[in-house]
Amino acid sequence: MVSAPAIEGTGEVACAPRWMPSERTRRKVLEPLRRRVLGPLFTRLGYDLLPAVPEWEHRPLSRREVDRLVRGAAHHIAVDLEAAGLPVPADMEGLVRSFYDEIRSCPVRQKHGGNGFNGALELFVVARVLQPDVIIESGVFRGLTTWVLRKACPEARIFCFDAVFSNLQHRDPSAIYYEADWSGFDFGGIDLSRALAFFDDHIDQARRIIEAEKRGLRHLVFDDNTAAHRIHSHGGPAYPTVDMVLDDIPTEPVRWLRNGREFVYEADPSVVEAVRARVETVRHIDDLHGVTGYSPARLTYVKLKDRRI
């Protein structure tokens, strides 16, 4: 075995420099290989090839196009906030623009799974508008949404819940991490009436609504809420979703096929009644794909009735 050469006069061993492909090599060789060979191969095997960079690294540079993107996103989110009964920030465009610039510094290199730019932006705006004292995040994944929530609410107490934190790329130094279901956590008498709960945990959303109401929560945001006739196109939302519970009770079981596996949902009238009795407002936030070009968001804001009344 040949040992690495020593650096003369130091006694230290020299390490071979790490090879990094040039921009020309990346453009002329690696990217075509990825697009023409690896991409189709992974697709045929049933996998999605990971993108090279987070989607927000792809962005317009000319001022007019940036302005159009920001203006369009701000308008659609403002419409949804107003419809949900939430206040609309006076400088909505400025808020969107600042987030659009700041997300490039995000330490989470979200390339596959989890929220993209649109979902991150919408969660940021909703949290900034509500300004909760306490935030409950159920389903953390790599830590993108924890970063987003901290940017929106610097002073909030954030509680992060997940079955496993091995995928984390960002850990908030001030947040509390609990490797278990949120429903078993003792909040020690904290008033949760002004808290915000964000659920992206692939757990039955009807169950989450009932649990949240029992804890005194009123403001919830769900990812992956979808109607029964669209659930086949989603990558694994828990069911019943918010929409499935609030829809008319089907006269027969709802069935769908995904990746060769058949799923069946039979509505439980008692669960449907319990959820409907607790929900005051539901608002789907625009997916923003049409105005930003980024992957569609699937966030839904749910406000629960005040049980003290």
Q: Is residue 241 included in any domain, yes or no?
A: no
Please, which pLDDT band fits residue 19 given cuts at 50, 70 and 90? low
Q: Give the per-residue pLDDT at 28.
A: 67
Residues 127 and 193 in one domain: yes
Alpha helices by DSSP H, listed for 117-204, are 117-130, 144-152
pLDDT of 308 higher than 50: yes
Q: For the chain, give the mean pLDDT.
A: 88
Among 109-113, 132-136, 186-190, whose mean pLDDT is lowest?
109-113
Least confident of 16-25, 137-146, 291-300: 16-25
Q: Is the pLDDT of residue 305 over 80?
A: yes
Q: Are residues 121 and 143 in the same domain?
A: yes
Q: Are residues 117 and 196 both part of a single domain? A: yes
If asked whether residues 128 and 218 sit together in one domain, one would say yes
| 46 and 60 share one domain | no
pTM over the 0.85 mark: no
Total domain count, the chain:
2
Query: If you write DSSP's letter for every residue of 180-249 in order, what string do you get?
Result: S-GGG---TT---TT-EEEE-S-S-HHHHHHHHHHTT--EEEEES---GGGGGGSS---SS-HHHHHSPP
pLDDT of residue 258: 87
Q: What is the pLDDT of residue 146?
A: 98
Q: What is the mean predicted confidence (pLDDT) over 188-193?
A: 93
| Predicted pLDDT of residue 110 | 67
Over residues 71-80, the pLDDT tens digits come to: 999 999 999 9
* Interatomic CA distance for residues 281 and 288, integer angstroms: 21
252 part of a folded domain: no
Residue 152 sits in the same domain as residue 29: no
Q: What is the pLDDT of residues 224-260, one digit of tens each?
A: 999 889 888 876 678 899 999 999 887 889 999 988 8
Residue 177 in any domain: the answer is yes
Q: Which domain holds residue 138?
A: 55-226+281-304
CATH number for the domain spanning 219: value is 3.40.50.150
Name the pLDDT band for 53 (thresholds 50, 70, 90): confident
My answer on whether 118 and 222 are in the same domain is yes
* Per-residue exposure over 273-304, b if at least 16 CB sit within 10 Å of its own CB, e if not: ebbeebbeebbbbbbbeebbebeebbbbbbbb
Q: How confident is the model at residue 177 (pLDDT cuts 50, 70, 90)?
A: very high
Do 96 and 193 belong to one domain? yes
> Which pLDDT band, with edges at 50, 70 and 90, does 216 fall under?
very high
Q: Judge whether 8 lies within some domain.
A: no
Judgement on whether residues 70 and 160 belong to the same structural domain of the protein? yes
pLDDT score at 187: 95
Q: Does the pLDDT value for residue 153 go beyond 50?
A: yes
